[in-house]
Amino acid sequence: MSSHAAVQAPETSLGEPHFKVGFWTFLGSECFFFGTLIGTYLSYRGRDAAAPFPHHGPPDGAGILNIPVTSVSTFVLLTSSLAMVLALAACQRGDRRKTGLWIGITALFGLIFLGFQAYEFTEFYHNGLTLESNLFGSSFFVLTGFHGAHVSIGVLWLLSLFVINLREGIPAERALSVEVAGLYWHFVDIVWIIIFTVVYLIPD
């Protein structure tokens, strides 16, 4: 039995497969997890008396966040969601070549986003912002770091689907494996929209 066949399951009383309903439940718990991290960030927001600051503040009014760079990485991640939709549509049509193409593009865009995040973290470190620097540094790195870890998991998941499709194909009747991976990917995209808005766009 192939690895993607294992995700097939009888339908629940809701008319959806057990695996899909179970995964929605998992995503619900993830909402609580990220809600807690975002709430923690907001509770510490603006309480630092020492630089570096996210947007502005004493003593020199300088902000460390590079909004233009992060806006580009955000656009890349959001575009990857479109590629994921196209991957699922291709799989449901039984188009093996385009399924692999769009899954590969989605994973690539995820890697580009992670590259931007690594660049940002490196720049922050060189400018004096670390996990121990101040409240902003602690809450920022924990929040965005956990999100980055989730993106990394998503990329690995997509690459495994890419390899499966390359070796044996993912037929239309097994499209649930791609659909559930898409649910996860859209979830991390939505979480990033909230993080980007709260951390980067709303001033202190």
Tokens of residue 141, six digits: 């790195």
Residue among 164, 150, 153 nearest 192 (CA): 150
User: Are the CB atoms for 38 and 198 separated by under 8 Å?
Assistant: yes
Is 5 a residue whose pLDDT tops 60? no
Taking 3-state DSSP, the helix, strand and coil percentages for the chain, each rounded to the nearest 5, stand at 75, 0, 25
How far apart (Å, rounded) are the C-alpha atoms in residues 199 and 67? Answer: 10
The dihedral formed by the CA atoms of 36, 50, 134 and 194, expressed in degrees to the nearest 10? 30
pLDDT of residue 2: 39
pLDDT of residue 125: 92
Residue whose pair of structure tokens reads 């020492």 in the numeric block: 50
DSSP designation for 202: S
Distance of CA 88 to the CA centre of its chain: 18
The contacts of residue 62 (CB under 8 Å, 6+ apart) are 51, 52, 53, 56
pLDDT tens digits, one per residue of 48-100: 767 777 876 555 556 889 999 999 999 999 999 999 999 999 999 999 999 99
pLDDT tens digits, one per residue of 171-191: 999 999 999 999 999 999 999
Instruction: For residue 59, say if its preceding peptide bond is cis, omega within 30 degrees of 0.
Output: yes
Q: What is the pTM of this model?
A: 0.87
Is 29 a residue whose pLDDT tops 90? yes
Residue whose pair of structure tokens reads 């202190």 in the numeric block: 204
pLDDT band of 15, cuts 50, 70, 90: low
Mean pLDDT of the chain: 88
Structural domains of the chain, with CATH: 84-204 (1.20.120.80)
Tokens of residue 42, six digits: 């907001």
How far apart (Å, rounded) are the C-alpha atoms in residues 53 and 197? Answer: 17
